[in-house]
C-alpha cells in the first residue's frame, strides 16, 4: 500500500475492495434529502463526519502508531470517490477531505510531540483544522503572500490576511503559512514557514463568504492581528514551509480528481434513472448517450489514478501537474527549461491509448507540436504512453461502483432493468 511520505508501491486490491464497499455502504446511509437540507440551511454535516470518525476513516492516511489506519493514496482516492458518488457531492467530500490531506505536513515533518498530541485527535474526529494558505493579493503565486511572522521571545507574532479558508467557522486548529523572511527574487519559494496553532478568535477575525454551492461547508476570510505562535508550533524547519506544503498538495490532486469523477457518476445515475421512466426517451437515443458517458467516466478513472501514481513513483519534477476533464484529450505539454509533464486524463484518446502504443512518428509529431524535441521530450512522451497503457492493470480496482466486485463487465440485462444499481432519490 502507499504510505504517506514513503515510496509509492502497488496498491493492494483486496484492501481497496474492502475500503470501497465499506465506505460506499456508510456514505449512502445519508440520502439526497440529508444533503439538500444541509446545503439549504448552510449547516455543517456533523452527523456524516461523526459516522466516518466512528468507522476510523478520518484517520485513513494517519499512521497506525498515531491512531490512524495507515492506508495509502489509492485507498483514500477510492474512499473519496465513493463519498462523492453517494450523492454527498462536494459537501460530503470536503467534510472528510480536510481530515486527510491538510495534516500531511504534520505527519511527515512535525515534531514527535506534535504528532503524539494531535494526530490521534484528528483521527478520532475530536478536532477540526483549517488550512490557511490562500491570500487575496497573491493570486496563484504563493511566493507573494504578505502574511508575516516576526520572531519574538519564545515564539512568533503573525499578522496578515487569508481568504477562501475552509472550516474556519468551526475549526479548533489552523495550519498557517506565513513569511518569516523577505521574498528573494532568486529563490522566491524560500522563507515561508508552516505553523500548526490554535485558531484564536480573539486574534483572528473570521468572516464567512457567501457563495453559490457547497453551502454546507463554510469558506471564509481571515484577518490575523498579532496572533501569538509558540516555537514548538513550527512544522519542520523555519523557511521551508512551502516545500512541506507541496508534498501534501501533490498527492492531494489525484483525490480531488476522483471526487469530481464521483460527482459525475452520481449525476449520470440520476439522469439515467429519470430517463428510464420514459421508454420513449430511453429507447429513442438517450440510452446510447448514457452508455457513452458511463464509458468515458470508467476510462478516465484508472487513467487518472495510474498517471499520478506513476508520476509520484518515478519522481516526475514537482512542477508537473495532473488534471482530469471529461472532454479533455490526453496530451503532454513540455514547458520551461526542462520537460514538465501535464497529463490530462480525458476520455477522447483513452481507449486508443489503452489498446496500443502510438507509433514513434506520431509521438515525435506530438512533441514537436508542443514545442519540444530531442531525447528528453521523447522520454517524457514515452512515460505518458506508459501511464495510459498501465491503466489497464489498475482497472480491476477502479471498477464502476454499481457493479459487484466480481462483475468484470457491464451486462445488457442491467441496462434493461429500470433503476437497477442506482441510489434511491429521496
For residues 331 and 58, what is the distance between their CA atoms, to the nearest angstrom? Answer: 35
| pLDDT the model gives residue 247 | 76
| pLDDT the model gives residue 296 | 54
Q: What are phi and psi of 184, to 5 degrees?
A: -105, 120
| pLDDT the model gives residue 381 | 52
| pLDDT the model gives residue 251 | 77
Nine cell digits for residue 266: 452520481
Q: What b/e readout covers 53-91, taking b as 16+ CB neighbours within 10 angstroms?
A: beebbbbbbbbeebbbbbbbbbbbbbbbbbbbbbbbbbb
For residue 251, give the DSSP letter: H
- DSSP bridge partners of 192: 179, 240
How many Å separate Cα 54 from the centre of its chain? 22
The neighbour count for residue 6, using CB atoms within 10 Å, is 11
Q: Give whole-number Cα distances, 268 to 17, 290, 296, 419, in Å.
A: 23, 7, 11, 12
Q: Are the CB atoms for 194 and 235 separated by under 8 Å?
A: yes
Could you tell me the domains of the chain? 13-123 (1.10.540.10), 129-242 (2.40.110.10), 278-394 (no CATH)
* HSE-CB of 165 using CA atoms within 13 angstroms: 32
Nine cell digits for residue 401: 461502483
For residues 143 and 178, what is the distance between their CA atoms, to the nearest angstrom? Answer: 10
Could you tell me the mean pLDDT of each successive run of 10 residues in the chain, 426 residues long? 40 82 96 94 96 96 95 90 94 94 93 97 95 91 95 96 96 97 94 97 96 92 97 96 86 84 85 71 57 54 48 44 32 28 32 39 54 53 51 40 38 40 43
How many Å separate Cα 76 from the centre of its chain? 9
Nine cell digits for residue 27: 456514505
Using DSSP bridges, classify how beta strands 321-323 and 342-344 pair: parallel, antiparallel or unpaired: parallel
For residues 312 and 85, what is the distance between their CA atoms, to the nearest angstrom? Answer: 26
* HSE-CB of 19 using CA atoms within 13 angstroms: 30
pLDDT tens sequence across 315-357: 444 444 333 333 232 222 222 232 332 333 333 333 333 333 4
H helix runs in 315-404, sequence order: 350-355, 360-369, 375-389, 391-394
pLDDT tens sequence across 224-245: 999 999 999 999 999 999 999 8
Q: Are the CB atoms for 193 and 145 separated by under 8 Å?
A: no
Amino acid at each position: 500500500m502507499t504510505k504517506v511520505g514513503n515510496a509509492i508501491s502497488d496498491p493492494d486490491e483486496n484492501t481497496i475492495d474492502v475500503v470501497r464497499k465499506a465506505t460506499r455502504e456508510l456514505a449512502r446511509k445519508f440520502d439526497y434529502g440529508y444533503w439538500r437540507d444541509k446545503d439549504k440551511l448552510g449547516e455543517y454535516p456533523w452527523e456524516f463526519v461523526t459516522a466516518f470518525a466512528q468507522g476510523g476513516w478520518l484517520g485513513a492516511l494517519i499512521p497506525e502508531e498515531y491512531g490512524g489506519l495507515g492506508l495509502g493514496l489509492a485507498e483514500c482516492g477510492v474512499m473519496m470517490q465513493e463519498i462523492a458518488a453517494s450523492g454527498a457531492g462536494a459537501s460530503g467530500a470536503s467534510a472528510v477531505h480536510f481530515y486527510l490531506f491538510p495534516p500531511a505536513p504534520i505527519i511527515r515533518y512535525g515534531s514527535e510531540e506534535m504528532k503524539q498530541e494531535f494526530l490521534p485527535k484528528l483521527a478520532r474526529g475530536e478536532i477540526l483544522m483549517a488550512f490557511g494558505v490562500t491570500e487575496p493579493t497573491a493570486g496563484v503565486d504563493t511566493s507573494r503572500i504578505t502574511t508575516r511572522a516576526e520572531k519574538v521571545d519564545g515564539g512568533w507574532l503573525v499578522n496578515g490576511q487569508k481568504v477562501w479558508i475552509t472550516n474556519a467557522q468551526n475549526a479548533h486548529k489552523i495550519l498557517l503559512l506565513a513569511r518569516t523572511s523577505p521574498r528573494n527574487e532568486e529563490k522566491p519559494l524560500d522563507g515561508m514557514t508552516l505553523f500548526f496553532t490554535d485558531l484564536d478568535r480573539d486574534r483572528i477575525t473570521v468572516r464567512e463568504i457567501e457563495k453559490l454551492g457547497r453551502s454546507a461547508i463554510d469558506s471564509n476570510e481571515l484577518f490575523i492581528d498579532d496572533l501569538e505562535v509558540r516555537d514548538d508550533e513550527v512544522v519542520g524547519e523555519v523557511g521551508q514551509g512551502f516545500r512541506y506544503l507541496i508534498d501534501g498538495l501533490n498527492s492531494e490532486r489525484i483525490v480531488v480528481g476522483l471526487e469530481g469523477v464521483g460527482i459525475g457518476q452520481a449525476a449520470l445515475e440520476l439522469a439515467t434513472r429519470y430517463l428510464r421512466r420514459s421508454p420513449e426517451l430511453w429507447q429513442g437515443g438517450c440510452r446510447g448517450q448514457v452508455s457513452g458517458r458511463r464509458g468515458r467516466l470508467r476510462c478516465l478513472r484508472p487513467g487518472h489514478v495510474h498517471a499520478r501514481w506513476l508520476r509520484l513513483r518515478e519522481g516526475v519534477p514537482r512542477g508537473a501537474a495532473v488534471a482530469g476533464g471529461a472532454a479533455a484529450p490526453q496530451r503532454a505539454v513540455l514547458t520551461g527549461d526542462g520537460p514538465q509533464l501535464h497529463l490530462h486524463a480525458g476520455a477522447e484518446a483513452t481507449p486508443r491509448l489503452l489498446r496500443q502504443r502510438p507509433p514513434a512518428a506520431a509521438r515525435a509529431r506530438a512533441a514537436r507540436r508542443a514545442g519540444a524535441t530531442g531525447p528528453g521530450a521523447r522520454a517524457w512522451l514515452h512515460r505518458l504512453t506508459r501511464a495510459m497503457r498501465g491503466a489497464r492493470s489498475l482497472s480491476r480496482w477502479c471498477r464502476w461502483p454499481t457493479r459487484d466486485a466480481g462483475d468484470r463487465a457491464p451486462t445488457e440485462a442491467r441496462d434493461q432493468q429500470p433503476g437497477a444499481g442506482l441510489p434511491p432519490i429521496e
